[in-house]
Amino acid sequence: MSIAVLNDEMYMRLALDMASKAQGQTDINPVVGCVVVKDGRIVGLGAHLRRGEGHAEVHALGMAGDQAEGATVYVTLEPCSHHGRTPPCCDRLIAAKAARVVVACTDPNPQVAGRGIAKLQQAGIEVEVGILGEESTRMNEMFNKYIVTRLPFVTMKSAMTLDGKLAAKTGDSRYVSGAKARELTHTLRHRHMGIMVGVDTALADDPELTTRLTVPAVHPVRIIVDSTLRLPVGARAVQDRSSRVIVLTTEGADPIKEAALAEAGVEVIRCGGGSRVDLKLAMRKLGELEIGSILLEGGGKLNGAMLELGLIDKLLLFIAPKLIGGSAAPAVFQFEGFDKMSEAIRLEEMAVERVGDDVLISGYLRNL
Ligand code: AOF
Ligand code: ZN
């Protein structure tokens, strides 16, 4: 590999590192990092830190000042060409007279989608695309889905015993996984805009559903699936004011119960007239509310329903080296099931790692 490519990778790696640290704090926006290099020196650094505030390029070019003229600018996402909450980064790069722009991956946002690169090239700037592109794309996988479909990216996280149980036959589930895996859950909560559970989980464990880490710790919106509004106003998730609470229910749910929950600050959203919440419709409504990513920490029934409907994008499954038994003990996924092994849903791009005493299996579900 040539020295030039190695250097390009080195600066792009720095830009990606900065972007990765902002995961979870940019709302529906992507995480983006930018490094400005002139005459062999880094003269500007920046990352997009909050939706509505400066894009990565603006921060980095601001730091570089006049030194941006003739510089190479590394940016982990194609510079934007549209007027969003901030002006186009392309115009800013052109005005700064950058000589070369190295981009990791294109921006799937239909308002950008290649126009940013074209605009820079038309202005005579040399543009190179694809340096550490796969890593940048993976880092923004939630944004990439949401910006194109307006549906939230759903990550399901669960912990099970070696025999596939979420809890003992008595319902006891404290705890399946070890401390390290449980700590990672809080990082995952920070990184998703919403956290979703079924009302059975809310009733059984009375969880707060917040992020309990000192840093980083942005609390997700709490989403509880409750077809008949059994969630009591006194539930800890309702009483705790650290983030919004959305209850997804059915058209037929009791308006008096709705009024009591609304009084306590809960947003009740009716999804479908059936006996169960229409989860597909629910995803569309949550997308309209600009909830771009959801961590599903459901019980077996909710996990099974989401899986069957093809609503889970990514799976993170911790497996604890324990055997609990009991035919009545709940399984991680409860759904009708298939007749043949050949019909089974497959996990793709599977990765396996050890987290403390547990094994973490992760991968993607391709929902066609
Ligand atoms: C960039 N650099 O650092 C980011 C970009 O509404 P706004 O102004 O926040 O724009 C958000 C859109 O801009 C977002 O959907 C994505 O297409 C792009 N994000 N682009 O050049 C950045 N965060
Ligand atoms: Zn921009």
Asked whether the beta carbons of 208 and 189 are under 8 A apart, the reply is no
Report whether pLDDT(99) > 90.
yes
Amino acid making up residue 366? R
pTM: 0.95
Judge whether 308 counts as a catalytic residue.
no
Distance from C-alpha of 13 to C-alpha of 35, rounded to nearest angstrom: 10
What pLDDT is recorded for position 1?
60
Report whether pLDDT(4) > 80.
no
Residue of 218 and 309 predicted with greater confidence: 309
Tell me if residue 78 falls in helix, strand or coil. coil
CB atoms within 10 A of CB 186: 15
Give the distance (Å) from ligand 2 centre to CA of residue 36.
15
Distance from C-alpha of 18 to C-alpha of 13, rounded to nearest angstrom: 9
Q: What are phi and psi of 254, to 5 degrees?
A: -60, 120
Residue of 4 and 233 predicted with greater confidence: 233
Q: Is the CB of 103 under 6 A from ligand 1?
A: no
**Could you report the per-residue pLDDT of 31-83, keeping only the tens digit for each?**
999 999 999 999 999 999 999 999 999 999 999 999 999 999 999 999 999 99
Confidence label for 154 from pLDDT (cuts 50, 70 and 90): very high
DSSP string, 138-178: HHTHHHHHHHHH-S-EEEEEEEEETTSBSS-TT---TTSS-
Return the axis-axis angle of helices 3-21 and 56-64, rounded to nearest 10°: 120
Of all residues in the chain, what percent carry a pLDDT higher than 70?
Answer: 99
- Give the position, in ligand 1's atom list, of the atom nearest the Cα of 78: 21
Nearest-Å Rg of the Cα atoms of the chain is: 23
What pLDDT is recorded for position 210?
83
Q: Is the CB of 90 under 6 A from ligand 1?
A: no
Identify the residue whose tokens are 């830009």.
15
Least Cα distance to 336 among 301, 297, 299 occurs for 301
Q: Is the CB of 32 under 6 A from ligand 1?
A: yes
Q: What does the DSSP 8-state code read for residue 165?
A: B
Q: What is the mean pLDDT of the chain?
A: 95
Give the distance (Å) from ligand 2 centre to CA of residue 89.
4
Q: What are phi and psi of 105, to 5 degrees?
A: -150, 160
Catalytic residue among 57, 258, 267, 288: 57
What DSSP element (H or E) covers 355? strand 348-355
Confidence label for 220 from pLDDT (cuts 50, 70 and 90): very high
Which of 50, 53, 77, 102, when mutated, tests ligand 1's pocket best, judged by the most ligand atoms within 8 Å of its CB?
A: 77
Q: What are phi and psi of 296, to 5 degrees?
A: -90, 115
What pLDDT is recorded for position 21?
96
Please give the average per-residue pLDDT across 207-233, as a whole number.
88
